[in-house]
Amino acid sequence: MAKIVLDPLTRIEGHLRIETRIAGGQVAEAWSKGEMFRGFEALLQGRDPLDAPVITQRICGVCPISHAISSCKAIESACGLRVPANGLYLRNLILGANYLQSHILHFYHLSALDFVKVEALLGYTGRDPVLVDLKNWAESEIRTNRVLPVAPFLPKLPGDYAADPQWNLGALANYVEALEIRQEAHRMAALLGGKMPHAATLVPGGVTCVADAAVLEDFRARLRRVRRFIERCYIPDVLQAARLYPSYADIGRGPARFLSYGVFDEGASTWMPAGTVNGKGHEPLNLALIHEDTTSGFYRGNHKSHPKDAAAPIPQPDKPRAYSWLKAPRYNGLSYEVGPLARLVVAAAAGERSISQSLSALLRETGLREEQLPSTLGRHAARALEAQLLAARMEQWLDAMQPGAPAIVPYKNRDAGSGVGLVEAPRGALGHWITLKAGRIGSYQCVVPSTWNFSPRDAEQNPGPVESALVGTPVNEAYQGLEVARVVRAFDPCIACAVH
């Protein structure tokens, strides 16, 4: 087998092609290719700044809240607005609800089927009504179509799925329950955001919703239901996946360099701190060290530009040697991993004690060593742990809300200026950079989490984080790329966001 190509890589958001060259039974080289152009940065030029949070939320239906907050913060920094504490807590609660929805979506509905043997249903003799329903459905599909049911469980790649019936059946039942739990998380975001996806209450200056005590208690009750699911299902399922697939603690390492912008504003600081980790402890974030490289992107010219100076990219689909619609973000010239694992590693390195203790406990429970955190299992475990810690923290933000206190300051535009809005989206570091010209948007740049993780090679031909994580992945020819898909999906790709 000379190469494995997964195109499209399914059960993700957006259009991703993964190409690998195989040598000696493992991946020797990999290419991550975003397959679609969108053009949000170009269409924002010349518009009223107030359009930006509305339009950029449409970059994605999975993480619209992060784009809205990033956009609002960029405008607030350009116009000198300070959001009151109540507004910050409301943003945390809406963003937190979106994180919980997104992490549960990622594990159960996008990734778990990489590890769960759906065929286990056919031998089911128990009485769980959800499983009985699924089994009857599977059997009727086999009677009528002579194959196991189709979407959402099949088709999928063949492979070494663990035979443990308790794991397979339990995870399938939780897959179904997770649909309802995600609905609950969406309701939480909609209670304070007006609607989901694409919230209506997030505007420059703060949050427009009136969150009285009844609304907040409704939110809290739903949060507790989601929290119970995380503790009762999500965490145990991830731990069991770690027991059943221990080799994935050593598969999918990546650059082992981590970056976080920090997130969840608590007034004086953010709960998750900003910074980078590159082998030698926590380092403060220096935004001047960020640039985007267009060498491998289907865009005119080979540029290395800081987002505050960059113009909207001009598509050039026939550009020689280009192979992706993603640009390549770099920090100090190097690729960095972003996302839940990066946030926890940066927080622990920054001395955030509750997070470092939880991370140590997670290592004990999964049996992973610290150096195995950058791995396929480490990424799933970090995402689950973050969901658990966040759900607990959200109760504190509910307690910190001051009923009746303002959540917004009046918006006043400026004719000229520039600003940046940094946030952490569920999938990692998200920044929007804006310049104002005659009161309109002069330029607008988004640098997005999946752009960091799925970036192509840069001018020095250094690969992006996922491209390097794939190198060394052992592959069995009969599995048609399942091992590759497991490594890639653990990063939680959203290529709709990544290209924008």
Site string for ligand NFE, 448-477 (x = CB under 6 A): xxx---------------------------
Q: Indicate the residue among 60 and 120 with the shorter CB distance to ligand NFE.
A: 60
Q: Binding site residues for Ni(2+), as ranges?
A: 60, 63, 494
Chosen from Mg ion, ligand NFE, none, partner binding at 383 (C-beta under 5 to 8 Å by type) = none
The catalytically annotated residue of 72, 79, 446, 494 is 494
Nearer to ligand NFE, 100 or 172 (CB): 100
**Residue in 112, 110, 109, 138 with CA at minimum distance from that of residue 123:** 138
Give the nearest distance from C-beta 69 to ligand NFE in angstroms: 10
3-class SS of residue 362: helix
Sign of the CA dihedral with 51 first, then 497, 432, and 380 last: positive
Q: Judge whether 79 counts as a catalytic residue.
A: no
- Answer whether 487's CB lies under 8 Å from 8's CB: no
What 8-state DSSP symbol labels residue 297?
B
Q: Give 67 or 380: the residue with its C-beta nearer to ligand NFE.
A: 67
Which H or E run includes 30? strand 26-34
**SS3 for 185?**
helix
- Of Mg ion, ligand NFE, none, which one does residue 350 interact with (CB within 5 to 8 Å by kind)? none
Burial of residue 130, with CB atoms counted within 10 A of its CB: 0-12 exposed, 13-18 middle, 19 or more buried = middle
CA 143 to chain centre: 39
As annotated, the binding site for Fe cation includes 63, 497
Query: Catalytic annotation on 497?
Result: yes
Residue in the block written with tokens 């996008």: 110
Indicate if 291 belongs to the active site: no
Instruction: Let me know if 67 is a catalytic residue.
Output: yes
Place of tokens 């703060």: 206
Residue nearer to Mg ion on the CB measure, 377 or 446? 446
Name the catalytic one among 72, 209, 233, 497: 497
Query: Measured at CB, which residue is nearest to Mg ion?
Result: 446
Least CB distance to ligand NFE at residue 437 (A): 25
Choose the contact partner of 20 out of ligand NFE, Mg ion, none; CB within 5 to 8 A by kind. none
Contact 302, 430 (CB under 8 A): no
Q: Between 189 and 497, whose beta carbon lies closer to ligand NFE? A: 497
Task: Output 60 or 384, the one with its CB closest to ligand NFE.
Answer: 60
**Residue type at 189?**
A
Nearest CA to 456 out of 346, 367, 335 is that of 335
Task: Write the interaction track for Mg ion spanning residues 431-450; mark x where CB under 5 A is met and - where it is not.
Answer: ---------------x----
Backbone angles phi, psi at 423, to 5 degrees: -150, 170
Kindly state the smallest distance separating residue 263's Cβ from ligand NFE, in Å: 11
Total number of residues binding Mg ion (CB under 5 A)? Answer: 1
Whether 33 and 323 have beta carbons less than 8 Å apart is answered as yes
Cβ neighbours of 146 (radius 10 Å): 7
Give the residue carrying structure tokens 């569920």: 426
Is 427 in the active site? yes
Q: Nearest-CA neighbor of 447 among 296, 295, 343, 331?
A: 331
**450 an active-site residue?**
yes
Give the start-end residues of each E strand in 299-437. Answer: 304-305, 328-331, 417-425, 428-437
Question: Which CB sits closer to ligand NFE, 84 or 428?
Answer: 428
What is the spatial distance between Cα 246 and Cα 250, in angstroms, rounded to a whole number?
Answer: 8
Q: Which of the following is catalytic: 38, 67, 198, 291?
A: 67
Tell me if 60 contacts ligand NFE by CB under 6 A: yes
Angle between helices 376-400 and 353-366 (to 10 degrees): 140
Size of interface with ligand NFE, in residues (CB under 6 A): 17
494 as an active site residue: the answer is yes
Contact code string over 478-497 relative to ligand NFE, x by CB under 6 A: ----------------x-xx
Q: Interface mask (CB under 6 A) for ligand NFE, residues 416-445, using x and -?
A: ---------xxx--x---------------
Q: DSSP class of residue 310?
A: P
Give the residue numbers of the binding site.
41, 60, 63, 494, 497, 500
Query: Least distance (Å) from ligand NFE to the CB of residue 75?
Result: 17
Distance of CA 115 to the CA centre of its chain: 20
62 binds ligand NFE, rule: CB under 6 A: yes
Q: 330 with 295: CB under 8 angstroms?
A: no
Residue 13 annotated to the active site: yes
Q: How far is the CB of 91 from ligand NFE (least distance, A)?
A: 15
* Residues with active-site annotation: 13, 60, 63, 67, 427, 450, 494, 497
Q: Which residues bind ligand NFE (CB under 6 A)?
A: 13, 60, 62-63, 66-67, 425-427, 430, 448-450, 494, 496-498
